[in-house]
Amino acid sequence: MVAVTKPSGPTPIDAEWLRQLTLELGADDVGFVSIDRPELADQRADIEAVFPGARALVSFVCRMNREPIRTPARSLSNLEFHRVNEDTDEVGHRLVRALEAEGIRALNPSVGFPMEQDRWPGKIWVISHKPVAVAAGLGRMGIHRNVIHPKFGNFVLLGTVIVGQPISAETEPIAYNPCFECKLCVAACPTGAIKPDGRFDFAACYTHNYREFLGGFEEWVGRIADAKSAKDYRRRTRSEETVSMWQSLSYKPNYKAAYCMAVCPAGEDVIGPFQESRKDFVKAMLKPLQKKVEPVYVIRGSDAQAHVEKRFPHKEVRLVGSSLRPNSINSFLSSANLAFQPGVAKDMEATFHFRFSGASDREATFRIEKGSLFISDGLVGEADLTVSVDADTWLGIVKGERNPVWAVVRRKLRVKGPISLLQDFQRCFPG
């Protein structure tokens, strides 16, 4: 490591010294942003909760090798993801150590895991690296919801270090978005999670790509618990699924796709082959992923199931339960947009009033308009269906653990209006 000059004083931290130090520790680019920046207003409370006295953030990227991400052999892709993940965490760790040696308080949240699992299924991550990176000028969000660095494209992993002193100079967001909406990520996504109009189906992405992470693991454990014998378990779960889960448990969780990153041509270092010949780029990068014969995990009755069956008939649909299982009415209301299926609701127009009682005393309005969902606190407008329900009972229904008919018979659930609308509502949030 090349020796660097000690900063002139403890406050503020010299930006040029900090930039040089971060790059020498292994980062490929770095930016600085004050915690007071308007772009981080919605992140500030979370940042200060883990680091009281936070004054600024160091955002940095570590570049991944492109070809391992692009190959249809996902074991090679995952090796690259995990290797660079470790490198990025190491940069953050070493940077904090160097800052502490200078008497500067600093904290390095992890790039990914480990996370605060007691918050599950809420916001389990300590810091949101993407908005920090965008504010610090390290890229802009593409329609695939990945940060695209202007030079390295989306072939980067993001790290953040929180510091307890201001930094002498900040970096600003870049003036343009490297994403030029070529829509190759739309074409590559096996579940249809990325929509041509920019919408994103979180549930579809999470269910398949993160199959061997949190939600999929929970569903897999449920299969084991429900199995009456080893033979019954093998009937429910294919052997390759079992050994794949073993690999994730013994090594590290494996992504099933991330094809959106693989085909993205944006970035100065990346775009050349696409500019030379879009046809050849598509043939080399996109087609092998589209043609790959593989299982795709989807929630029964979801938009993703319809997409795979129509767009990729050679891929095998494997139906699984939803991992978005709220444990409170608050989490149900906050996560409903993530579970909502616009395709299922494309012909639906209805207003639902919910009155929750018991463990949670809340009122909320759901308005579904031809594939769009609007949620409001309180009872807004005239309802087509009013649902009065015990909170724990409703959560059991959402999780598939209780039958709505049973709830009606026990008077735990009462409806005013056509009960068929309740069934229509449930179809919009398949589990």
User: Looking at the domain assignment, is residue 172 inside a domain?
Assistant: no
DSSP 228-281: SSHHHHHHHS-HHHHHHHHHHHHT----S--HHHHH---STTTSHHHHH-HHHH
242 and 377 inside one domain:
no
Domain residues for the domain of 77 are 15-163
Both structure tokens of 403: 């039958």
19 and 159 inside one domain:
yes
Give the Cα separation of 131 and 134 in Å (integer).
Answer: 5
Both structure tokens of 146: 């990945």
User: Looking at the domain assignment, is residue 175 inside a domain?
Assistant: no
Q: What is the pLDDT of residue 404?
A: 85
DSSP 373: E
Both structure tokens of 424: 């229509």
Q: Of 173, 156, 132, 140, whose CA–CA distance to 28 is shortest?
A: 156
Q: What is the pLDDT of residue 124?
A: 86
- Beta pairing partners, 58: 32, 161
268 and 292 inside one domain:
yes
Torsion angle in degrees (nearest 10) through CA of 68, 72, 78, 84: 20
End-to-end Cα spacing for the chain: 52
User: Looking at the domain assignment, is residue 99 inside a domain?
Assistant: yes
Give the Cα separation of 133 and 347 in Å (integer).
Answer: 39
315 and 219 inside one domain:
yes
265 and 354 inside one domain:
no
Cβ contacts of residue 315 below 8 Å, gap of 6+? 190, 292, 293, 294, 295, 296, 308
Question: Percent helix, strand and coil across the chain, each rounded to 5?
Answer: 40, 20, 40
147 and 65 inside one domain:
yes
CATH number at residue 117: 3.40.109
364-403 per-residue burial string, b: 16 or more CB within 10 A, e: under 16: bbbbbeebebebeeeebeebbbebbbbbbbbbbbbbeebe
43 and 157 inside one domain:
yes
pTM (two decimals): 0.91
Cβ contacts of residue 22 below 8 Å, gap of 6+? 30, 58, 60, 91, 95
User: Looking at the domain assignment, is residue 406 inside a domain?
Assistant: yes
The domain boundary residue, chosen from 320, 344, 365 = 320
Instruction: Please state, in angstroms and as integers, the Cα–Cα distance from residue 238 to each residue in 40, 57, 397, 417, following that order.
Output: 45, 46, 28, 44
Q: What is the pLDDT of residue 215?
A: 73
304 and 335 inside one domain:
no
Task: Output the 3-class SS for 297-365.
Answer: EEECCCHHHHHHHHHCCCCEEEEECCCCCCCCHHHHHHHHHHHCCCCCCCCCEEEEEEEEECCCCEEEE
Give the Cα separation of 339 and 362 in Å (integer).
Answer: 20
Q: Are 138 and 110 in contact (CB under 8 A)?
A: no
27 and 158 inside one domain:
yes
Both structure tokens of 200: 């994103």
Q: Are 266 and 142 in contact (CB under 8 A)?
A: yes
215 and 311 inside one domain:
yes
Torsion angle in degrees (nearest 10) through CA of 233, 239, 241, 246: 90
The count of structural domains within the chain is 3
148 and 230 inside one domain:
no
CATH number at residue 377: 3.30.1050.10
For 415, counting Cβ atoms within 10 Å of its Cβ (0-12 exposed, 13-18 middle, 19+ buried), the class is middle
DSSP 371: T
Collect the ranges in the chain with pLDDT lower than 50. Answer: 1-5, 7-9
**Cis amide linkage into residue 196, ω under 30° from 0:** no
Q: In whole angstroms, what separates CA 235 from the centre of its chain?
A: 31
User: Looking at the domain assignment, is residue 375 inside a domain?
Assistant: yes
The domain boundary residue, chosen from 260, 293, 320 = 320
User: Looking at the domain assignment, is residue 418 inside a domain?
Assistant: yes
Instruction: Give per-residue pLDDT as tens, 152-169.
Output: 999 999 999 999 999 999
Give the Cα separation of 50 and 52 in Å (integer).
Answer: 6
User: Looking at the domain assignment, is residue 347 inside a domain?
Assistant: yes
Instruction: Please state, in angstroms and as integers, the Cα–Cα distance from residue 16 to each residue in 30, 31, 62, 173, 388, following that order.
Output: 11, 10, 19, 18, 60
The domain boundary residue, chosen from 320, 350, 384 = 320
User: Looking at the domain assignment, is residue 209 inside a domain?
Assistant: yes
Q: Are 395 and 326 in contact (CB under 8 A)?
A: yes
